[in-house]
């Protein structure tokens, strides 16, 4: 099983972090209460630029969750098509070559789901196997990769596409002044990323998937997720998250690698979901990594913000394009998300 190609797509509206901070301050005015606190949170988010689906003046026009969700659907379809086509082009495949499609998103819902619309608009094969995923948030992209790997392991002559697409700006809660929401308004952004996974019988290049593991942490449901109500998606983000990472991640990664006769010292590339500065700092401490080990994740956070499920593939695309390890080097993909849970993928470059 190999990752034959990765491609991403971003909206055309690119903003400096300070521009978005100022826009929110101006919108909220005196209701914000402590604008200096939000300024500090945004300044410490590790984000310099973010891409959003719409110009800033458009967001005040969405007056209901239904309108926001419809906008998510339209933008997710557009960016999703672009990301899949770019990944297919890099892998050397055409749309009709796909045997399975796995789509994950946490920022909108639809039935028929987004994958059905993409099959119609992209004229994918009518017998394509489809798997929509909702509810996994930041870990969703890595889980989709695991499911794609499972598919081509069972059908080694087939090709699967996974798509992670998030329009985080459509979940903006302009009535929520909680610390969690103020952090979210300085961290999350919009974008899509896709990967093409080819079975062993296809004989292609690209990093080989050696194994995967899911880690679920019982009784941690309140760490991260959504509170869903008539107002839409309201972010849940517990300050206990960094401590959980420091406590559990190192041992879980070690146990996973031990099964392949490896240790952390053997890993030559870390494709880590850039959840935010406190998350990356906790990961670095838990795994005893250096600044250089996570440089690709920090750089992607700075350039794009947190794209939830899509972010880990932005990092993977950066590594495959500009920071590719030597052939044969072991690598790890790691993401974490609601549940609380983690997903590990071991690669050989």
The residues that are catalytic are 138
Residue 125 dihedral angles phi and psi, to the nearest 5°: -60, 140
Q: Which 3 state secondary structure label does DSSP give 59? A: helix
347, 207 in Cβ contact below 8 A? yes
Distance CA 304, CA 314 (A): 9
**Residue 224 half-sphere exposure toward CB, CA atoms < 13 A:** 24
List the one residue out of 68, 248, 84 whose CA is nearest residue 173.
68
Beta strands in 168-299, from DSSP E residues, in sequence order: 190-198, 208-216, 224-229, 232-237, 269-272
Place of tokens 């996973």: 256
Distance CA 246, CA 281 (A): 9
Question: Mutual orientation of helices 140-154 and 311-322 as an angle, nearest 10°?
Answer: 70
Residue 130 — left, alpha, or beta (φ > 0 → left; ψ -120 to 50 → alpha)? Answer: beta
The number of beta carbons lying within 10 Å of the beta carbon of residue 216 is 9
- Tokens representing 123 are 């004229």
- Tokens representing 6 are 């990765």
Distance CA 36, CA 50 (A): 21
Question: Mutual orientation of helices 241-258 and 277-287 as an angle, nearest 10°?
Answer: 40
- Rounded to the nearest 5 degrees, what angle is found at the Cα of 149, between the Cα atoms of 261 and 282? 60
Distance CA 37, CA 179 (A): 9
């Amino acid at each position: 099983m190999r990752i034959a190609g990765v491609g991403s797509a971003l909206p055309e509206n690119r903003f400096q972090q300070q521009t978005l901070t100022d826009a929110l301050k101006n919108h909220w005015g005196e209701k914000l209460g402590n604008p200096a606190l939000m300024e500090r949170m945004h300044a410490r988010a590790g984000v310099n630029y973010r891409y959003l689906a719409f110009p800033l003046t458009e967001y005040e026009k969405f007056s209901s969750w239904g309108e926001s969700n419809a906008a998510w659907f339209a933008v997710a379809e557009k960016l999703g098509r672009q990301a899949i086509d770019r990944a297919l082009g890099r892998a050397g495949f055409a749309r009709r070559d796909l045997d399975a499609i796995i789509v994950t998103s946490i920022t909108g819902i639809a039935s028929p789901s987004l994958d059905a619309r993409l099959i119609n608009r992209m004229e994918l094969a009518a017998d394509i196997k489809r798997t929509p995923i909702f509810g996994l948030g930041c870990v969703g992209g890595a889980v989709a990769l695991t499911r794609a790997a499972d598919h081509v392991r069972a059908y080694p002559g087939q090709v699967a596409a996974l798509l992670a697409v998030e329009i985080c700006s459509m979940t903006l809660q302009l009535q929520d002044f909680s610390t969690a929401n103020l952090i979210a308004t300085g961290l999350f952004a919009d974008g899509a990323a896709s990967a093409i996974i080819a079975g062993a019988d296809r004989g292609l290049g690209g990093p080989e998937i050696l194994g995967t593991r899911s880690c679920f942490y019982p009784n941690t449901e309140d760490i991260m997720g959504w509170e869903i109500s008539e107002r839409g998606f309201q972010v849940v983000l517990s300050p206990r998250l960094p401590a959980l990472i420091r406590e559990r991640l190192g041992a879980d990664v070690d146990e996973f690698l031990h099964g392949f006769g490896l240790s952390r010292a053997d890993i030559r590339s870390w494709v880590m979901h850039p959840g935010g500065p406190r998350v990356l700092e906790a990961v670095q401490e838990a795994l005893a990594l250096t600044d250089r080990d996570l440089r690709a994740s920090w750089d992607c956070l700075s350039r794009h913000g947190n794209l939830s499920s899509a972010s880990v593939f932005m990092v993977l695309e950066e590594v495959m394009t500009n920071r590719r390890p030597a052939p044969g080097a072991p690598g790890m993909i790691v993401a974490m998300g609601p549940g609380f849970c983690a997903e590990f993928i071991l690669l050989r470059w």
